[in-house]
Amino acid sequence: MGITKSEIFTARQNKIATMLKALAHPARIAIIQQLSKAEHCICSEFVDELGLAQPTISQHLKELKNTGIIKGCVEGKSISYCIDEKVWLKMKKEFESLFTSNNSFLE
């Protein structure tokens, strides 16, 4: 498989692709859904809810956190995760632009 030549695409196209890659797994979608209901959770709560192993959940949390979709704050010995609302609103705006009638995402 060839290497993606990200430098030939616009910064916006690369940013949207990165965000979509971060969401491109059902476990990550489930994590986002759980966070939207509970506002914040620790890793063990995702393990209980999703039925996946703790290392698997941790890896998915890491991917979401690396793109800024979620953020974590230390609470004792645990990290409590929540959706970064500013980033989420920016993502929402970018995604909505993909589906507008003027197809501004093609620019």
pLDDT tens figures, 34-82: 999 998 899 999 999 999 999 999 999 999 999 999 999 998 888 999 9
Long-range contacts of 49-56 (CB under 8 A, 24+ apart): 52/27, 56/27
CA–CA dist 64, 12 (Å, integer): 19
What percentage of the chain carries pLDDT values higher than 70? 90
pLDDT for residue 104: 53
**What are the two backbone dihedrals, phi and then psi, of residue 53, each rounded to the nearest 5 degrees?**
-65, 150
The listed CATH number (3.30.460.10, 3.30.230.10, 1.10.10.10, 1.10.10.1800) that belongs to domain 10-98? 1.10.10.10
Whole-model pTM: value is 0.81
Average pLDDT, the chain: 87
Give the number of other CB atoms < 10 A from CB of residue 39.
10
